[in-house]
Chain A
């Protein structure tokens, strides 16, 4: 699974598996791309798929998934900001500065 910036010919970089290869997007660091790919994955794994409801399952259906997801991720981004040198030009920190 990967995120691909379209190249000039409109072709995506060949994709392989789910290990989020680095893609040729100059504006993003590998850490940023990895985070983007994870957000894409969670968009789908939490927000879609065959969804159970009712009492037959102990799924996480009772939890507000989107809220949980965002809370978890924002927490992580903040943690990463704190861990990052304030002078470093990192997309995660840059995005979170707003």
Chain B
């Protein structure tokens, strides 16, 4: 039933199936698509410069490559996910493969570090999830993901050097005024972010708000009021970026940042538990 191409599982476990998942090799899954021709993987490498290969079943194709379970097994992952250099390397390799095939056909990217014990299991999963995967691929076909962030400077503190409080009461009054100014600035910024998101969503096939990013991670100044992901039909991408520019021009206190196009990472998620 499963039509597995190229079975290169190099080193079978000593004399039996992998009882332990800490040794041997496994299949790392990058993405699923409807069809990818055999010759499209020629010369394409993934993690650890291993060649990628195709696993076909149920009218679907997965792109996989071989990884070492010492690194990608349960224990290895738990350890390595704490290592930013490792995480970055894997993320960029994963993204490279997804991006490459995403330029050729509709793809459903898989979450980082999805490992199956072998290609047979990948094939089995394609069959199990045939309907959800196909629905997901239909949803993202002809679209790319774009990111729009809104970052607002909530600088309520605009006093000058000469504006020092002369008494405790004056100080408290000033603090209270600052606090309420800040609150209302925050509310206005939140409302503006809602409007930006609603307006952009009107032009897109789908949209999601991701949690705002921590400035300790990004180093951005100000408050991230919106971290939006938008699934934009490719023939509307210019219209979309123009709209982002217009919206940004109307928001003097805020900065809109456009990123993309990305493969449809935020929109290929399957219904869980199905």
Contact = CB atoms under 8 A, between A and B. Distances in A.
A5 B261 CA distance: 14
B269 A49 contact: yes
Given A36-B218, A46-B112, A15 B260 contact: yes
Interface stretch (B9-17, B160-168, B182-190, B241-249): B241-249
B247 to A, nearest CB: 9
Contacts of B26: 58
B96 A18 contact: yes
Contacts, number: 199
Chain A, interface size: which category? Answer: 35 or more
Contacts of A98: 215-216
A52 B218 contact: no
B114 to A, nearest CB: 5
A43 to B, nearest CB: 6
B210 A4 contact: no
Contact of B74 (A3, A49, A58): A58
Given A6-B258, A50-B269, A60 B91 contact: no
Given A43-B210, A71-B82, A35 B265 contact: no
Given A50-B270, A51-B272, A68-B81, A58 B220 contact: no
Contacts of A12: 241, 258, 260
A29 B121 CA distance: 44
Given A1-B95, A43-B213, A75 B272 contact: no
Nearest to A4: B258
A57 B229 CA distance: 28
Contacts of A7: 245
B217 A39 contact: yes
A37 to B, nearest CB: 8
B256 interface: yes
Contacts of B215: 95, 98
B273 A70 contact: no
Interface in A1-47: 1-12, 15, 17-18, 25, 27-28, 32, 35-47
Interface of B: 21, 26, 32, 73-74, 77-78, 81-84, 87-88, 91-92, 94-96, 99, 108-117, 121, 124-125, 129, 133, 136, 145, 147, 210, 213-221, 227, 229, 241-246, 248-249, 255-262, 265-270, 272-273
